[in-house]
Structure 1
Amino acid sequence: MKKISLSLSGLLLATTAMIAPGLAAAQTAPAQDPRDEVATVEEIVVLGRFIPEPLRETSEVAAFLTAEDIQRTGDSTAAEALTRVTGLTIVEDRFIYVRGLGERYSSALLNGSPLPSPEPLQRVVPLDLFPSNILGGVTVQKTYSPNYPGEFGGGVIDLQTVDAPNEPFFNVQGGIGYNSETTGRDNLTYYGGQSDWTGFDSGVRDVPGPLALAFARGRQIGQANFTDRELQLIGQSLVNAPLRLLQFDESPVNWGLDVEGGFSHDTGVGTLGVIAVAGYSNSWSAREGFQEAALLDGGALEAGTAYAFASGQNDVQLNALTSIAFSTLDHEVKWTNFFVRSTTKEARSRQGFNLAFGGEVRQDFTEYFVRQLFSTQLAGEHSFLDGALDVSWRGSYAVSERDAPYETQFGYGQAADGAFIHDIDTNLISFSELNDELYSAGADVSYTLPLSDARDAVFSAGVAWLDNTRDSVRRDLSFVAPNGLSDSQVRSRVDFLFSDFNINPNTLVIREATNAASAPAYEGELTVNAAYVQADVEVIPLVRVSAGVRYEDAEQRVIPIDLLNTGLLFTPTSIEEQYWLPAATLTWNFAEDLQLRLGASRTIGRPQFRELAPQAYTDPETDRRFIGNPYLVDTELTNYDARVEWYFERGQYLTAGVFYKELENPVEATINEVALLEYQQTFLNAPQATLMGFEIDGKTYFDFPEAGLPFIADKRWLIQANYTFTDSEIQVDAADRVLTLGGQGIGEPANFYLTDGARLQGQSEHVANLQLGWEDDNARSQATLIVNYVSDRITARGPGLGGNRLPDFIQEPGVFLDLVYRKDFTAMGRDLGMALELRNLLGTEFDEFQELGDDKIRVNQYDLGSSLSVSLTARF
C-alpha cells in the first residue's frame, strides 16, 4: 500500500462522497486543480467516510425504530415497542420512562405535533393508544435540539405514521390469543350493556335524566337542597343490577381484526398517495393477588390491612388512520387523521383483615372507562433554490376524552356468624368526565450554505405555538339509611338492597358525597409560544457542530371550580415563565466508521394539570387516592451527553455513551396517612437531584456458511442487545423547604417528606434488552427470542412524616422472555403471512412492595400469566 499526503482542498474533494453523498450526487464534480495533482496512487487512506445510517445522519444522540423492527418483535402498541430501545422502560403498560425519568420529563409527538392526554393523572398521552400497525417508525431523541419543545428531560418520542405506498396493496389480518391466567377460566365480571363488546355503551350508563337535572342545579344533592320526592326519583333513576351485581363468567379468547390498504397515483401534475388503516381488538385479563398496607409496630413492619383480591377486565379498542398526500418533485402536502377509542370494563373484589374496621371486610367494585383520542394534522414540506432552501409547516387539532360513568363501590362487614353483610356507610357511585383539547402550529425554515465542495452549513429557524385546555369534573354519590337496615336487608343481594322498593325516605336516601373542599371540578390551560434558531455546521472536515437556542414564553393555569356553589374560595394556580434553552452537540468522525458525540443543553419540565389541581382521584390500578398540589413549580434541567459510535456494516453498529443531568425542583410523589391505614398520594418539588449513567447498544448480523447444517447455514442470524445503568440522588439539606397542599403554601422542612440521597421515583438502576433471531429468505420465515429486564424502582415515597416515614413503595418489574415467529407462504394463489407470539414465558408476576429488614409488605402483587397469540394475514 502506498500512502500519500493531500492538500486541504484535495482532502475535501476526496471526502465529498464520504461525508456528503447527497450533495455529491446533486452536483457535478469540478475540474481538478493542477496544483492538487500529486501522483497516481493505488489506494488513498483518510480518516472518515460516510456511514449510511439514520443514527449517523442525525446530529443528536438518538434511537430509531423502523416498521421492520416493530414487526420483528411483534409488539402490538407503541408503548410495548419502545421498551426495546436503550434506556426506555414502560410503566402501567402505557407510559414510557426515558433513562429513569418519568413521563412528565418527556414529550410525545405524532408527526411532530403534540398530543393531549385522556389520563386523569398525566398530561402526556399514554402510548398504549397507538397500535403498531399505524406506525411507519419512531424516533427517540435523547439529546435536546432547539427545534423540539423545551419539555425535554429524558427525551422526545416522535411517532411517525405510515406513508402511502409506491405500489397498491390491501391486507387483512385476524388473530386470536390465550392467557394462562384468564382464558377459559371463570373470572369476575358484570353484565353492563348489550353492546359492550363493540366498545360503545348501549345507553345503560348514560347519566339518567333526574340525576342530570340535579347536577345542572349546581347544588349538593341532599335533603338541604332537594325534596324527598326528588331524592327518591334520583335514586330510583340509577341503573341497578346490570351495573352493580358481580358474577363469574368464563373469559373467552382474545381476538382482533386489522385492515389496511393504500395506493399512489400519478396525476400528471403530481403524485396522489392514500393509505388507510383500521383495527379492532377485544381482550380479557384476570388478576388474583394481594394488597396490603403497612404500619410500624415496635420497629417491625406489619400489615394493617391484608386483602386477597380478584379482578376481571375486558378491553376493547377501535382505531382508524387515514392519510392523503399530494407531492411533486419539490413539494408535498399531507393530511393525516387518527382516531382511537379504548374502553375498559372491570369488576373487582377484595376481602381481608382491616385493622381500622377491627375485623374482616369485603369491597366490591364495578368500573367502566372510556378513553378516546382524535387528531387531525395538515402539514407541508417545500424545497426551493435547487434544494438549498427548505420550508416545512404543520397545523394540528387534537382532542382526547375520558368518561367514567357508574364507578361503583360497595362495602361489607362480617357478622358474628361469619357472613358478610352490607356496610351501608361505604357505598359510593361516581361519575367523572375529562376533556383535553389541543391546538398547535409550527413552521421551520432551513437554508443550506455550501462551505466547500465537501462541507456545508445548515441554518434553521422556526416558530411554534400550542394551546392546551382541560376540563375535569367528578361527582360522588352514596346512599344512606336514616333509620338503619333490617337484618334481612343487610344480608340481601346488592341489587335487591338497592331496588326501587327500598329507595324511599325511610329506607335508602341518595345524597352527594362529593368533597366540595377538594375541587371536584377544575379547568386547566397551557399556552406556549416558542421560537428557535439553530446552525448545523461542519466547521472543519470530519467535525460537525449543531448549536442553537429556543425561547419559550409559557403560561399554565389551573382554576378549581366551586361546583356545588358552597362559597368556598379556591386560589387559582398560575405559572408564567420565559426560558432561553440553549443546546449544542459536537460530532467528530475521528476514524473510519467511528465518531464521537458530545452534547450539552438546558431544558424544563412542567407540572401536569392533575398534579396542580387539588381534586381527589382514586387510581383503579393501585386503589390509591391522589390529590394535586397547587404550589408546584417548573423543573429545570441541565443535560450532558457523550457517546462513541462504531458503524462497521450497514445496519450494524456498536455504541457506548454516558449521561449526566442536574435537576432543580424535580417533582416527586409522596404518600401521607390521612387516617389510620388510609393513604393519600400527592406531589411536591424536591430541592435538587442528579441523575447519571451509561448505556451500551449493539446490533450485528452473521451467518454460518460452512456450518454443514442447512437449518443453520441457510439463515441470517441476528444479535441485538442494549444495557443501561442509571443512578440518581435527591439532595436535601436541613435548611431546604418544600411547599405542600397540607401546608397551604407555607414552607415545611423538606426532610419531613424526602430522604437525602434517595433515588428519584421511577428510576431503575439496570435496564437490559436482548434479541436473538434469524431470517430465512428462502423459507420466508423469521424468529426472534426477546429478553427484557428492568430492576426495581420506587413507585412512591413511603407514608408518614420525617423519622416516622415508612419504607418507600418499590416495584420489581423483573425479566420477561418472549418468542415471536413469522412465516410467509402461498396458498390457493394467495400470499399469506402467519405470526406466532409467546409472551412472558418465565411467568413473571407484578410485584410492588415495602421492605424493612426481613419484613416485607405486599402492596400490590398478582400473576400476569403467560400468553400465546396466533394471527394470519392475507395480502391482496
Structure 2
Amino acid sequence: MKHYKLNLLTLALAAAGFSASGFAAQETTADTAKKLTPTEARAKAKAEAAVEIIEIKGFRRSVVESINTKRFSTNVVESISAEDIGKLPDSSIAESISRLPGLASQRLDGRASRVSIRGFGENESATTFNGREQVSIGDNRGVEFDLYPSEIMSGVTVYKTPNATLEAEGIAGVIDMQTVKPLSRERTIQFNGQYEMTSLDKLNPDGKDAGARGTFSYIDKFANDTIGVAFAYSKMSSPNQEKRWNAWGYPDFSVDGKNYSVLGGAKPFVRSSVLDRDSALLVVEAAPNDKLKMTFDALYVDFSDEKILRGIEIPFAWGYNRGSSALAVDPATGFVTKAKVSNEYLVVRNDLENRDAKMNAFGFNADYNLNDDWTLNFDASHSSVEREIWSFESYAGTGRGDKLGVGDNLSYEFRPGNSGAVFTPSLNYGDYNLIKLGGPRSWGWSTALNQKFGVVGNDLYENTAQDGFINAPTVDDEMSAFKLAATQMLEDAGMFTKMHYGASFKTREKDKKSEGYFMTLKDFPAMVTVPEKYRMGTVNLDFIGMGNMIAYDSGAMLNDGYYVLTAESLTNQSHSFKTWTVNEDVLSLYTQADLEAEVGGIPVTGSVGVRYVKTEQDSQGTAFGSVNGLIVASPTDIDHSFNHVLPSLNLIFDVAENQSVRFGAAKTMSRPRLDEMNSSVGATYSQQVDSNGNNWSISGGNPLLEPKEALGIDLSYENYFSDEGYFSVAYFWKDLNEWIFDGKYQVDLAGVADPSTGKVPATSRATGSGKVNGGGGTLQGAEFSVTLPLNIVTEVLDGFGVIASYTAVEQDIKDPLGKDFELPGLSKEIISATAFYERNGFQARVSARKRGDFKGDVYGIGFDTQQVDIEGETIVDAQIGFDFGEAGFKDLDGLSIFLQGQNLTDEPFVSTQGSALKIRDYQEYGSTYLLGFSYKL
C-alpha cells in the first residue's frame, strides 16, 4: 500500500494557514489519476482549506485557522489562533481560552487567571509552552495565566484527549501555548498600543485608575529564507479596583432548642492595584538545507502586582460578647440578618501587598531528516520562576488591647442579593485624633513576642504587642527537560503509516520558604498619632456604611523605622508546615503508530500508542515540635518512586464528506499538588505505641502521595459544513481512581530526632495524618459547539457570524469512607457565545461566558491555598475595531484601531461558606475599557 507523503514544510504551512496555489493544482492533477487514501484525502482538504484562508483576513481568519486545527488534528482539541502576533481576540490568554467549548476561568483579583477543563480544576491539567511543561508561581502545579502575555502568543491549543507523544500529563487535558514561527511568516514590523482605564474611580488616594500597554514585534527572514527571526517586547501597566465585603465566618449557636447562625466578624476593604509586566520573546529558526531545521526560543517575564488595601476589621460574635444581640432573623434558616453590638473595638487597616515574579524559559529543538523514511528530533529546555510576596498589615484604633480604647456601638444589616452587610457605627474613623497607630486587639499571642517586650503573666499589655504583621513567603520553581525522538515512515505495513519513538527526561525542583513577622511600634506600649507627612487624607467606605477612614503611607513608616520586627516562626508551627523542597525526576518512553484503514467502506485514520512514565520524587522539610512555647525542628528527607503505563487510542471515521466521528480512549494521570506532597510535619514521639504499632505521630504533608488516575472515553460527531463553519456534539466519560483525600498513612522517619529531646529514637515508623490516595468515581458530560457564518443563509449577511458552545457535566465521586465528594473546579454548566461582524475593515464582536457554581481555590491566611464555594457568574465583553487598509485607505494600510470593554455588566465575584446566605466574599471590580491601535509595516 503506497502512502502519500506531504513535504514537511508544506504540511507546516498548511497547518498554519499558509500555502501556495501551485500546491493545490499539483494535487488536483494527481487526484484524477487514482482514488485517494484517507491520508491523501485529509491532506488535500487541509491544503484546500489553507488556500481559502488566504482570502480571509482579521478575526474571521483566526476563526478559520482554529477550525482547521480542530478538524485536522488526530486528537480531540480546541484552539484559538491570532491573525498576527499580538492580536489574540482578548487582552488575556485566560479570557481567550475560557471561551473554548468545555473550558472556564476563575477570576483572581478581577482578572481571569485559572482555567478548568471539563469540570476539572487547574491542578488536573498541564500547561506547556511550545510543547514543554511549565513551572508555576503558586504553591501547586496549576499555572496562573495572567503571568503570560497574550500580546506575544500566536495561538493556544487545548488537547482534550492525549496521545503518547505529548510531553505532559493531565486527567483534564493539556493546554499548549505557541509562539510564532518566523520561517512561515513574511517580514513584519508591528507596533501595538493600548490605553486602559477602570469604571471605578481610584478607591485609594494613592491608587491608579488608568494604565497603558504596548508591544513591539519584528519578524524577518534572511540568507535566502533559511534563517528566520521573531522578536517581541511587551510592557503593561494595568490598574484594577475592588470593593470587597469579606467575612471571618458564621458561628452557629442554639437558644431554647433553636439553631441560629450569626456573623462572626468581617474584614471589608477597598483595593487599588497595578499589575506591571515586562516580557520579551525571541525565536530563531534555521533551515540551512532540506534535511535540518533548528529552532531556539527564549521567554522572559518580569511580573509585579502591587496592591493598596484599606479597610476595617469588625469583630462581632467572635468579639468579646459585649452586649451583642440579634435584631432580625430569617425564620426559614435561623440566619441572623440584623444585629447590634456595644462597646466593641474595631481594627483600622492600612495594608500593602507586593507579589513579584520573574520567569525565564529557554528551548532548543532540532529536526533532522535522515532519509525519506526517518526523521530525528532533539529537544532541550529549561524554565524557572522566582516569586516573592511581601504582604504588610498596619493596625490602628482607639486604644491598645481590649481595655484601653473607646468602644463603638454599631449594628449591621445584610443587604439583598448576597452582597454582604452594611454597618452603622457610632465613631468617626476618619478622625486622626481618635484613630491612632497600635494594636486595638489582644492578637499578639506569642511567647517570643511577650518575652521580647517584657509583658508576661497578668501584665496589662500581655498579648498586645502586635501592631501589624508581615507575610513574606517565597517560591522557587525550576525545571529542565530533554527529549530524543524519531519518526519512521512505513511502506507496505498494512494499516500503519508512521511510527513515533521517543524518550524524555525532566527534573524539577520546587522550593517554598514561609516566614512572617510581628510588627510592634518602637514606642510600645504607647499609641502613636499618624505624623502629618504620612497622612493621605481618608478612604471612603460608604459601600459598607462605615463612612470615611484614615489613610496613611504605612510602608513609608516601616521604612523609616517606626516598627520593630519579631519572627513569627519562633512560636508558630504553620511556617514549618509551609517551608519545604520537593524534587521530581521523570523518565518517559513512548511509541505510537499512526494508522489508516477502511472499515465497512468508511475511511479511518488515527493513532495508537503507549507511554511509560517512571517517577522518582523526594522531599526535604522539617519535623517540628514545641518546647517551652518555642518551635524546635529536625530535618526530614523522604523519597518515593512509582511508574505508570499510559495507553492511548484516537480514531477518526470519515462517515461522509466533511463529516467525521471521533473516538478516543486513554489512561491518564494528574500528579498531586506539590504543597500536599512535602515532608514538613508536626511530629510527636511517644514511648507508647499507637494502634498501628508506631511511636511517632505526625501531621502535615505526605511525600508518599502518588498521581490520581483516570480511564477516559471520548466520542464526538463533527460536521464541517463550510470553510468558516462547523458544529459538533461530543460525549466524554472518565473513571477516576486513586483520588486524594484526608486520611492516614505510614512513613519511615529514620534518622529524624525527637524535637523535644534532640535525640534520634530507636524506632522510626510513624503514623501520619494528611492527604492520602483512595476513593474515586465517575465524571461524564456532553458538549455542543457551533461556529456559524451567516453568509450560508444569505450573502447579505456576509461578515456576520456566531460562535457558541454548551457543556453539561455531572459526577459521582466518593471519598474512601463512601461519602460524596465534589471535584474542585466543576461547574455543572458552562456556556460561551460570541457574535461578530467583520467586513470592509470594520470589526465588532460581543462575547459572554457563563459558568455554574463551583469549588475554587483562593489565597487564605499566609497565602496558603484555601478552597471555597464560588457562585456562578456571567462575564460580558465587547470590542469594535476598524482596519484602514482593509477599508481601502491605502495611505493608512497597516493601521487598525479598537475599543474593548471587559466585564461590562460589572459581574461580582461571590464566594460562600456552607450556604448561600453565608457570604465569604463579595468582590465588585467594575468594568475595564481599553482603547488601542496596531500598526504593521
TM normalised by structure 2 equals: 0.71
Pairing 1:277–2:277 present? no
In the alignment, which residue of structure 2 is the partner of 1:760? 823
In the alignment, which residue of structure 2 is the partner of 1:690? 778
In the alignment, which residue of structure 1 is the partner of 2:169? 151
For residues 629 and 50 of structure 1, do their structure 2 counterparts lie closer, same or farther at Cα, with a shift above 3 Å needed?
Answer: same
In the alignment, which residue of structure 2 is the partner of 1:345? 306
The one-letter amino acid paired with 1:62 is V
For residues 370 and 579 of structure 1, do their structure 2 counterparts lie closer, same or farther at Cα, with a shift above 3 Å needed?
Answer: same
For residues 612 and 10 of structure 1, do their structure 2 counterparts lie closer, same or farther at Cα, with a shift above 3 Å needed?
Answer: closer
In the alignment, which residue of structure 1 is the partner of 2:595? 537
Q: 2:883 aligns with which of 796, 814, 824?
A: 824
In the alignment, which residue of structure 2 is the partner of 1:304? 264
The aligned runs of 1:255-654 (5 Å cut-off) are 255-267=212-224, 271-292=226-247, 293-298=249-254, 299-327=259-287, 328-354=289-315, 355-358=317-320, 359-362=344-347, 363-386=349-372, 388-405=373-390, 407-410=392-395, 412=397, 415-416=405-406, 418=408, 419-420=434-435, 422-423=438-439, 424-425=465-466, 427-451=468-492, 457-480=497-520, 485-486=525-526, 510-514=566-570, 515-516=572-573, 518-519=575-576, 521-540=579-598, 542-561=603-622, 567-613=632-678, 630=703, 632-654=705-727
Rounded Cα–Cα distance in structure 2 between residues aligned with 1:409 and 1:140: 44
For residues 23 and 786 of structure 1, do their structure 2 counterparts lie closer, same or farther at Cα, with a shift above 3 Å needed?
Answer: closer
In the alignment, which residue of structure 2 is the partner of 1:161? 179
For residues 511 and 786 of structure 1, do their structure 2 counterparts lie closer, same or farther at Cα, with a shift above 3 Å needed?
Answer: closer
Q: Secondary structure at the match of 2:826?
A: coil
The aligned runs of 1:218-233 (5 Å cut-off) are none
What do the CA deviations read for 1:221-277 (whole angstroms, capped 9, x no partner)?
xxxxxxxxxxxxxxxxxxxxxxxxxxx23524121111111111234xx61111110
Cα distance, 1:286 vs structure 2: 1.4
What do the CA deviations read for 1:399-437 (whole angstroms, capped 9, x no partner)?
111022464454657632545552132522233322111
Unaligned 5+ segments in structure 1 are 1-8, 13-19, 37-45, 189-247, 617-625, 671-680, 708-712, 737-749, 800-806
Between 492-501 and 466-475, report the one with greater CA deviation.
Answer: 492-501
The one-letter amino acid paired with 2:720 is Y
Rounded Cα–Cα distance in structure 2 between residues aligned with 1:395 and 1:24: 39
What do the CA deviations read for 1:111-156 (whole angstroms, capped 9, x no partner)?
111121122x222332222212221221111112111246221001
Cα distance, 1:10 vs structure 2: 14
CA contact (8 A) 1:516 1:562 kept: no
In the alignment, which residue of structure 1 is the partner of 2:340? none
Rounded Cα–Cα distance in structure 2 between residues aligned with 1:495 and 1:32: 79
For residues 86 and 787 of structure 1, do their structure 2 counterparts lie closer, same or farther at Cα, with a shift above 3 Å needed?
Answer: same
What do the CA deviations read for 1:312-358 (whole angstroms, capped 9, x no partner)?
11110001101111113343101101111110111223324323333
In the alignment, which residue of structure 2 is the partner of 1:219? none
Between 273-282 and 519-528, report the one with greater CA deviation.
Answer: 519-528
CA contact (8 A) 2:168 2:174 kept: no
For residues 567 and 591 of structure 1, do their structure 2 counterparts lie closer, same or farther at Cα, with a shift above 3 Å needed?
Answer: same
Rounded Cα–Cα distance in structure 2 between residues aligned with 1:337 and 1:501: 42
Cα distance, 1:795 vs structure 2: 2.5
Q: Secondary structure at the match of 1:865?
A: coil
Q: Secondary structure at the match of 1:703?
A: helix
The aligned runs of 1:175-190 (5 Å cut-off) are 175-181=194-200, 185-188=201-204
The aligned runs of 1:842-861 (5 Å cut-off) are 842-852=905-915, 856-861=917-922
What do the CA deviations read for 1:26-55 (whole angstroms, capped 9, x no partner)?
89959979xx9xxxxxxxxx9999643332
For residues 850 and 401 of structure 1, do their structure 2 counterparts lie closer, same or farther at Cα, with a shift above 3 Å needed?
Answer: same
Cα distance, 1:290 vs structure 2: 0.6
Rounded Cα–Cα distance in structure 2 between residues aligned with 1:99 and 1:875: 38
Q: Secondary structure at the match of 1:356?
A: coil
CA contact (8 A) 1:534 1:549 kept: yes
Rounded Cα–Cα distance in structure 2 between residues aligned with 1:256 and 1:682: 45
CA contact (8 A) 1:458 1:535 kept: yes
CA contact (8 A) 1:479 1:511 kept: no
Rounded Cα–Cα distance in structure 1 between residues aligned with 2:150 and 2:193: 15
Pairing 1:815–2:874 present? yes
In the alignment, which residue of structure 1 is the partner of 2:811? 728
Cα distance, 1:686 vs structure 2: 5.8
Q: Secondary structure at the match of 1:303?
A: coil
For residues 790 and 69 of structure 1, do their structure 2 counterparts lie closer, same or farther at Cα, with a shift above 3 Å needed?
Answer: farther
Rounded Cα–Cα distance in structure 1 between residues aligned with 2:891 and 2:901: 28
What do the CA deviations read for 1:523-547 (whole angstroms, capped 9, x no partner)?
2211100010111111326022411
The one-letter amino acid paired with 2:164 is P
What do the CA deviations read for 1:473-520 (whole angstroms, capped 9, x no partner)?
2222224589961355799986898697876xxxx6745445356425
Rounded Cα–Cα distance in structure 1 between residues aligned with 2:720 and 2:619: 49
Cα distance, 1:458 vs structure 2: 1.3
RMSD: 3.9
CA contact (8 A) 1:48 1:542 kept: no
Rounded Cα–Cα distance in structure 1 between residues aligned with 2:33 and 2:558: 93
Rounded Cα–Cα distance in structure 2 between residues aligned with 1:593 and 1:812: 40
Rounded Cα–Cα distance in structure 2 between residues aligned with 1:548 and 1:706: 45
Cα distance, 1:460 vs structure 2: 0.9
The one-letter amino acid paired with 2:648 is A
In the alignment, which residue of structure 2 is the partner of 1:105? 124
Cα distance, 1:167 vs structure 2: 2.5
Rounded Cα–Cα distance in structure 1 between residues aligned with 2:319 and 2:776: 41
For residues 547 and 490 of structure 1, do their structure 2 counterparts lie closer, same or farther at Cα, with a shift above 3 Å needed?
Answer: same
The one-letter amino acid paired with 2:922 is Q
The one-letter amino acid paired with 1:58 is S
Q: Secondary structure at the match of 2:290?
A: coil
CA contact (8 A) 1:350 1:364 kept: yes
For residues 614 and 365 of structure 1, do their structure 2 counterparts lie closer, same or farther at Cα, with a shift above 3 Å needed?
Answer: farther
Pairing 1:67–2:79 present? no
Rounded Cα–Cα distance in structure 1 between residues aligned with 2:920 and 2:893: 52
Unaligned 5+ segments in structure 2 are 5-14, 47-67, 321-343, 400-404, 409-433, 440-464, 533-551, 682-698, 744-768, 861-865
Rounded Cα–Cα distance in structure 1 between residues aligned with 2:738 and 2:634: 28
Q: 2:206 aligns with which of 249, 260, 272?
A: 249
Between 50-59 and 20-29, report the one with greater CA deviation.
Answer: 20-29
Cα distance, 1:614 vs structure 2: 6.8
In the alignment, which residue of structure 2 is the partner of 1:126? 144
Q: Secondary structure at the match of 1:56?
A: helix
Rounded Cα–Cα distance in structure 1 between residues aligned with 2:561 and 2:932: 51
Tell me the number of residue pairs that the alignment of Structure 1 and Structure 2 aligns. Answer: 724
Cα distance, 1:849 vs structure 2: 1.4
Q: Secondary structure at the match of 1:842?
A: coil
CA contact (8 A) 1:150 1:550 kept: no
Rounded Cα–Cα distance in structure 1 between residues aligned with 2:726 and 2:919: 42
Between 546-555 and 682-691, report the one with greater CA deviation.
Answer: 682-691
In the alignment, which residue of structure 1 is the partner of 2:753? none
Q: Secondary structure at the match of 2:126?
A: strand
TM normalised by structure 1 equals: 0.75
